[in-house]
Amino acid sequence: MSLIAQLLIYGVLAAAIFSLVAVGFYLIFSIVRFFHFAHAAVFTCGAYSVFLLNARCGLPLFFAILVAVVLCSLLGCAMYLAVYRPLRRKGTSSLILLLASLGLYAVFQNLISLAFGDDTKTIRTGAVTEGMNLLGARITSIQVTIVCFSIALVVGVWIFLKRTKIGMVMRAVADDLELARVSGIDSDRIILWTFAISSALAGIAGILVAFDTDMTPTMGLNVLLMGVVAVIIGGSGSIPGVALGALFLGLAQHLGVWGISSQWQDAIAFIILLAFLLVRPEGVLGKRVTKATV
């Protein structure tokens, strides 16, 4: 019984992280219409910024985290301004943007490796605790924090999109770019907001993960890919869809390896992804992604 509870907890934990990354990725995809893989580097940047500011520069942890999140937002916006915007201005296809984002990821991940080394770094302080008991399984306080934060942030973003003026404009742009532009919406500003919010979410996710399991320069790509899977299986149509996808993925990964070794988690995630792409490409809640016809 407690094994299932433990796996459930791990699953929810994974889902929490995936959803933070997935929501940001989804926002950028739905508003700017391409796959921003360099989002993985922003995630990693969050963790390492805290490391730099706190462990290396001695800034108090709280401030280090704040500054780190802001830095991540800025990084995302910088990527847009320096690379994606000029490319979009030329009318290039989303595949070229995808390739550029892959290049950006390679550059930034390796910059982090160069600056900090490939070995594991930590921002955790204090002893590794056993954690509390929940339904016969163990969960640490940081893990509880992760889940609570994620829920709060995802709900927060959802409300932001539904209630605030900027949020509504973002949804308008996501629904119909042409119409939005024709109605005089400054798409540049909206896109910057999108990158800022998404990158902040990614940075926070990176920091949270670092508090739970330390950091390495390559930590981002895998999490991002899981986020992508979550977006696709949840249905690229809405935030609840993405969150649902993340939950399903987290649970499937952890419960699915019950009986098989946990190393197969990635493979399972991607087999699920392929299944969805082939059988139900629009995901659980979303819109069609199949080939355009005449």
Partner 1 sequence: MEYLLHILILIGIYVILSTSLNLIVGYTGLLSIAHAAFYGIGAYIAALMALKLHSPFLVNLICAIILSALFGALVGIPSLRIRDDYFVIATFAFQVITFSVLNNWVSFTGGPMGLPGIPQPVIWGLEISSPIGFLILVGIFCTLTLWVTRRIVQSPFGRVLKAVREDEVFAQAAGKNVAAYKVLVFVIGAGMAAVAGAIYAHYISFIDPTSFTVMESIFIISIVIIGGSGSLWGPVVGAVVLVVLPELLRFIGLPSAVAANLRQIIYGGLLVAFMMWRPQGFLGEYAFQGKETRE
Instruction: Output 156 or 176, the one with its CB closest to partner 1.
Output: 176
Q: Which of 266, 280, 284, 285 binds partner 1 (CB under 8 A)?
A: 266
For 95, the token pair is 């595949």
Instruction: Output 47 or 204, the one with its CB closest to partner 1.
Output: 47
Site for partner 1 in 132-161 (CB under 8 A): none
CA distance 49 to 112: 10
CA distance 13 to 18: 9
Element (H, E) at 256: helix 239-256
Site for partner 1 in 16-35 (CB under 8 A): 32-35
Which of 28, 113, 117 lies closest to 73, judged by CA? 28
Q: Which of 5, 96, 134, 151 binds partner 1 (CB under 8 A)?
A: 96
Based on the shown chain and the rule CB under 8 A, indicate whether residue 281 belongs to the binding site for partner 1. Answer: yes
Instruction: Choose the binding region for partner 1 from 1-9, 85-93, 131-139, 193-201 (rule: CB under 8 A).
Output: 85-93
CA distance 168 to 161: 6
Based on the shown chain and the rule CB under 8 A, indicate whether residue 88 belongs to the binding site for partner 1. Answer: yes
Based on the shown chain and the rule CB under 8 A, indicate whether residue 182 belongs to the binding site for partner 1. Answer: no
CA distance 238 to 104: 27
Instruction: Choose the binding region for partner 1 from 126-134, 143-151, 158-166, 220-228 (rule: CB under 8 A).
Output: 220-228
For 61, the token pair is 């942890």
Site for partner 1 in 100-129 (CB under 8 A): 100, 102-107, 109-111, 113-114, 118
Distance in angstroms between the alpha carbons of the first and the last residue of the chain: 54
Q: Which residues is 139 bridged to in the sheet? A: 132
Q: Which of 145, 187, 214, 240 binds partner 1 (CB under 8 A)?
A: 187
CA distances from 291 to 32, 148, 282, 288 (A): 20, 39, 12, 9
Binding site for partner 1 (CB under 8 A): 32-35, 83, 85-89, 91-100, 102-107, 109-111, 113-114, 118, 187-188, 221, 225, 228, 232, 261, 263-264, 266-267, 270-271, 273-274, 277-278, 281, 289-294
